[in-house]
């Protein structure tokens, strides 16, 4: 089991329309994938940047994770996502080490991936996502 690359940076945004327009204005880029992830109460827009991606997240519920983040901190960097080769083994390893996880078991994420989040208290204050597949 290993980290393969930084898959994406997640950016909390008050609205996807504004984020999509900003990326078009600043860099002439269009989102290559839009998706709603009901489990996380978000709509997402993905912009490829080399081998990584920027993911903008709009809350669909003020009580969801992004809604709470925006209310507390405002728009900005929300998480760093690492692509892994075996998410089940990685999560099991972290749990066995006593690492505080938001997800003790992988769950469905955008792009058909399986994801799990490591609590920011374990990572120096940065929410880290592990992702495999899709």
Alpha helices in the chain (DSSP H): 16-27, 65-73, 87-96
Q: Report how many domains make up the chain.
A: 1
Cα–Cα distance for residue pair 61/104, rounded to 1 Å: 24
pTM of model > 0.75: yes
**Per-residue CA distances from 47 to 2, 22, 36 (Å):** 25, 12, 15
Per-residue confidence (pLDDT) for residue 134, from 0 to 100: 64
In tens digits, what is the pLDDT along the chain, a chain of 134 residues?
899 999 999 999 999 999 999 999 999 999 999 999 998 899 999 999 999 999 999 999 999 999 999 999 999 999 999 999 999 999 999 999 999 999 999 999 888 899 999 999 999 999 999 999 86
- What residue numbers bound the domain in which 121 lies? 3-132
CATH number for position 104: 3.10.180.10
């Amino acid at each position: 089991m290993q980290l393969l690359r930084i898959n994406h940076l997640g950016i909390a945004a008050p609205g996807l329309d504004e984020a999509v327009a900003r990326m078009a204005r600043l860099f002439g880029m269009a989102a290559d994938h839009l998706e709603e992830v009901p489990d996380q109460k978000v709509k997402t827009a993905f912009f490829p940047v080399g081998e990584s991606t920027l993911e903008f997240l709009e809350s669909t519920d003020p009580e969801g994770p992004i809604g709470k983040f925006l209310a507390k901190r405002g728009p900005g960097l929300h998480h760093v996502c690492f692509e892994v080769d075996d998410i089940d083994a990685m999560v099991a390893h972290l749990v066995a080490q006593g690492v505080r996880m938001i997800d003790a078991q992988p769950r469905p994420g955008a792009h058909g991936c399986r994801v799990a989040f490591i609590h920011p208290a374990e990572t120096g204050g940065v929410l880290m996502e592990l992702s495999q597949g899709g």
